[in-house]
Amino acid sequence: MNVYEERRKKINAWMTEEGITMVMFQHTEDQRDPGIRWITGFPGDGLLFLSSVSLCGSLLIPWDMNLAFIFSDVESLIPYNDFERKPIIALKAALEFFNISAGSKIEIPPVTPYPIFLEYLEAIADFDVLCRNNGVHAEIQTLRAIKDAEEIEIYRHIAGITNELIDLLEKNAKAGKLKTEGAAALFIEAECRKRGCEGVGFETLAAGPLRSYGIHPFPAYTMGDFATKGLSILDFGVSCFGYTSDVTLTFAKEPLTKPQERMLTLTERAYRSALSQVQSGIPTKDIAAGVDRLFSNAKKKMPHALGHGIGLEAHEFPMIRNRKDNNWILKPGMIFTLEPGLYDMAHGGCRLENDILLTENGAETLTNARIIRL
């Protein structure tokens, strides 16, 4: 049994326990769901139907059949064009394909707009249509929070490429070759593709000293100065096999002001403190609260979460933030970021972010992001 069959087996068990006969996943221009790639390996647009009562329990309806033949692992394939590329028509066909009995529970994506949900109700009135936040889609997000052996192997590969780029960025910045925000961002794009990546995992955020006060600068990067006197921030990830890294470097060009030096010192201290607390069974809220206290004692405040899970999306579970509704507990197999940061309108900003794998033996820092002094 391969990794995709194993994942579908887990989903099937959950569906059986919940009494769900068929579930629909949609990854199209108006509704994105990377869960389809996690379940089948298929990276393109299309619909996926899983049945808990059929021997051929997975049906992929891709827009690009050629791509599906190469990348997907499913029992059955039917072109999306056969159904006018309309999800409701495809859903009705899937019910017939799996020979689903009237009255069965059918779950559709929780992000389905209400007017479209009403159309589903009308189109398959003989079935019990579920559209909910705590259904199978949420269960899959929870399953994705703990990476399996294949995903961990992918992340070691991604981290290796990310670390190569970090070293190159430091070398080029010290040599004065990254003069603008755009130069830094485009350098990452070119170098990751040279190494076989699918591209960057998300739009690179490059902010020179005049814009580093923003958590996420707007626009993401300009042709303004970068890595010049003061604090510059570079937040990027590279994507392989659909998975992305997520790191942030701060470039500190001397001479620095005392407030800037203090921001750097506090950020590094917060990062070390958070990393020292990472172990199985620890609530992520406790780690984030500890960092918030550290900053508060220094009369500073971090305006964002301490970290988040990464995977097929740049932001996944577990969440690492100091909020009452955060109930995540660290478990082996989780891969997440730790990214303390401070931002000041007058002095700029700094952030230090690395990707962490929690193993049975403790925390393993996969990436080598750092504060780079120039």
Q: 242 or 1: which carries more pLDDT confidence? A: 242
Tell me the residue range of the domain where 32 lies.
3-143
Query: Considering Cα of 289, then 292, then 296, then 301, what sign does the dihedral take?
Result: negative
The total of structural domains in the chain comes to 2
- Tell me the average pLDDT across 239-252: 98
Chosen domain end from 128, 143, 158: 143
The span from the CA of 189 to the CA of 347, in Å, is 29
pLDDT tens-digit series, residues 98-152: 999 999 999 999 999 999 999 999 999 999 999 999 999 999 999 999 999 999 9
Please write the tens of the pLDDT for every residue from 13-23: 999 999 999 99
CATH code of the domain covering residue 149: 3.90.230.10
Q: Note whether 184 and 304 are same-domain residues.
A: yes
Same domain, 217 and 100: no
Say if residue 1's pLDDT is above 70.
no
CA dist list (Å): 270 to 14, 165, 264, 341? 39, 24, 10, 9
- Cα separation of 280 and 293, whole Å? 22
Regarding whether 360 and 230 lie in a shared domain, the answer is yes
Q: Are residues 23 and 113 in the same domain?
A: yes
Dump pLDDT digits (tens) for 204-224.
Answer: 999 999 999 999 999 999 999
The pLDDT tens digits of the residues spanning 287-342 come to: 999 999 999 999 999 999 999 999 999 999 999 999 999 999 999 999 999 999 99
**pLDDT computed for residue 54 by the predictor:** 77
Residues 139 and 263 both lie in one domain? no
Q: What is the pLDDT of residue 39?
A: 97
Provide the CATH number for the domain around residue 27. 3.40.350.10
What would the two tokens of residue 58 be? Answer: 């997975």
Q: What mean pLDDT, rounded, does the chain reach?
A: 97
188 and 151 in one domain? yes
Structure confidence by residue, pLDDT tens digits, 94-113: 999 999 999 999 999 999 99
Q: What is the average per-residue pLDDT within 36-46? A: 97
